[in-house]
Amino acid sequence: MNAPFAPIAGQPLKLADDLALVLAPNPSPMTYLGTNTYVLGCAQLVIIDPGPADSTHLRALERVIAGRPVSHILLTHSHLDHSPLATALSSLTGALVYAYGDSTAGRSAIMAQLAREGLAGGGEGIDRDFKPDRYLQDGEVLTADCGQITAIHTPGHIGNHLSFMWRDAIFTGDHVMGWASSLVSPPDGDLTDFMVSCARLKTCEASVFYPSHGAPIADPKARLAWLVNHRLDREAQILSALSDRPTRIAEITATVYHDVTPGLRAAAARNVFAHLVDLYQKGKVTAHPVLSTTATFVKS
Ligand SMILES: [Zn+2]
């Protein structure tokens, strides 16, 4: 995109003849300008990520749909800024809601264990009531009027995260965003999975990524490389912040994220914990007395 990305909430931004973006009116430090809802097709439509429970956004989508049939409502994942409007949109259009699973689906073994034992904290922004009408598996292909859409399981931001490949484009949800790196907050987020999903997306031949927040990404491979390097840099910073004495998450966060605005400090601490779980899994740190948000961490 040559022009600056400046969609107006509720007004469709045409990205191609059969693709429009409709920005939801939910800007915030975590959502940037707001959630991008994508409308694919011409005669019959597919909608990706209806957005937050917001009647203004529902009316905007209704105007864009303009009475045309909707064949599928697809969800990249079940965070509150993506999935709650799916139910109302499904009632309005009669289309079924497709997703990987409920909000705990796709969790890694270590995250399921931390959650079970109440040791992970987290749970921010989860749509706990979310349940799809149809469960999509990794690699499943949907046939829509606008062509085939392939579901790619990309856990990491949350276990039930899917990306959707359509022609040479991938809708990357919150896994690869156009404005910032993704929040990875255990037990929903898993950094080990996140890195695997980045490697997976790298193998897909896409010429554009359409994220759920921010502008289209015209150079997907470069953006993925930036994202992976950003995480590797953070990992190195965290390992160097771990002195020889036992260190807590708050101390590491203050060192590594010293320049972060106060509104994002809690999210930064969650990212640090995600890294520490990943490093623990790799045997690079130990946690005392047990792996948890209140543990002290030591370099192995
Ligand atoms: Zn999200």
Helix axes 85-93, 55-65, angle to 10 degrees: 40
Task: Please give the distance, rounded to the nearest whole angstrom, from the Cα atom of residue 300 to the centre of ligand 1.
Answer: 32
Decide: 158 and 79 in contact? Cβ < 8 Å. yes
- Structural domains of the chain ordered from first start: 13-231 (3.60.15.10), 234-299 (1.10.10.10)
- Report the pLDDT value the prediction gives residue 103, as an integer from 0 to 100: 96
Query: Does 199 have pLDDT greater than 60?
Result: yes
Q: Average model confidence (pLDDT) for the chain?
A: 95
Task: Please give the distance, rounded to the nearest whole angstrom, from the Cα atom of residue 2 to the centre of ligand 1.
Answer: 27
* DSSP per residue, 15-72: EETTEEEEE-S--BTTTBT-PEEEEE-SSSEEEE---SS-HHHHHHHHHHHTT--EEE
Task: Please give the distance, rounded to the nearest whole angstrom, from the Cα atom of residue 244 to the centre of ligand 1.
Answer: 35
Quick one: tokens of 39? Answer: 């409308």
Give per-residue pLDDT as tens, 144-172.
999 999 999 999 999 999 999 999 999 99
Task: Please give the distance, rounded to the nearest whole angstrom, from the Cα atom of residue 105 to the centre of ligand 1.
Answer: 14
Decide: 173 and 82 in contact? Cβ < 8 Å. yes
Task: Please give the distance, rounded to the nearest whole angstrom, from the Cα atom of residue 243 to the centre of ligand 1.
Answer: 33
Quick one: tokens of 160? Answer: 């039930």
- Residue 167 to residues 4, 18, 46, 170, 206: CA-CA distances in angstroms? 25, 12, 14, 8, 8
Peptide bond into 211 cis (omega under 30): no
Task: Please give the distance, rounded to the nearest whole angstrom, from the Cα atom of residue 83 to the centre of ligand 1.
Answer: 10
- Report the pLDDT value the prediction gives residue 91, as an integer from 0 to 100: 98
Quick one: tokens of 13? Answer: 């931004």
Task: Please give the distance, rounded to the nearest whole angstrom, from the Cα atom of residue 260 to the centre of ligand 1.
Answer: 20
Task: Please give the distance, rounded to the nearest whole angstrom, from the Cα atom of residue 190 to the centre of ligand 1.
Answer: 13
- Report the pLDDT value the prediction gives residue 2, as an integer from 0 to 100: 56
Query: Does 232 have pLDDT greater than 80?
Result: yes
| pLDDT (mean) for 237-249 | 91
Task: Please give the distance, rounded to the nearest whole angstrom, from the Cα atom of residue 77 to the centre of ligand 1.
Answer: 7
Decide: 173 and 75 in contact? Cβ < 8 Å. no
Give per-residue pLDDT as tens, 77-107.
999 999 999 999 999 999 999 999 999 999 9
Question: Which residues, listed in sequence order, are joined to residue 149 by a DSSP beta bridge?
Answer: 142, 166
Which residues sit with Cβ closer than 5 angstroms to ligand 1, an ion? 79, 174
Q: Looking up tokens 């990520």, which residue turns up?
A: 49
Task: Please give the distance, rounded to the nearest whole angstrom, from the Cα atom of residue 239 to the centre of ligand 1.
Answer: 27
- Residue 83 to residues 37, 87, 126: CA-CA distances in angstroms? 10, 8, 9
| pLDDT (mean) for 109-135 | 94
Backbone phi, psi, residue 109, to 5°: -60, -45
Helices and strands, counts by H and E, the chain: 7, 14
Report percent pLDDT > 70 for the chain: 99
Give per-residue pLDDT as tens, 44-84.
999 999 999 999 999 999 999 999 999 999 999 999 999 99
- Report the pLDDT value the prediction gives residue 236, as an integer from 0 to 100: 96
d(CA 173, CA 49): 8
- Report the pLDDT value the prediction gives residue 30, as an integer from 0 to 100: 83
Pairing relation of β-strands 169-173 and 162-166? Answer: antiparallel
pLDDT band at 1 (very low <50, low <70, confident <90, very high): very low
d(CA 276, CA 184): 12
- Report the pLDDT value the prediction gives residue 4, as an integer from 0 to 100: 84
Task: Please give the distance, rounded to the nearest whole angstrom, from the Cα atom of residue 197 to the centre of ligand 1.
Answer: 15
d(CA 134, CA 288): 42
The sign of the CA dihedral 119, 124, 130, 136 is negative
* DSSP per residue, 142-159: EEETTEEEEEEE-TTSST
199: enclosing H helix or E strand: helix 191-202
Q: Kindly report whether the global pTM for this prediction surpasses the value 0.75.
A: yes
Task: Please give the distance, rounded to the nearest whole angstrom, from the Cα atom of residue 79 to the centre of ligand 1.
Answer: 5
Pairing relation of β-strands 45-48 and 36-40? Answer: antiparallel
Instruction: Please count the other Cβ atoms lying within 10 Å of the Cβ belonging to residue 9.
Output: 17
| pLDDT (mean) for 215-231 | 95
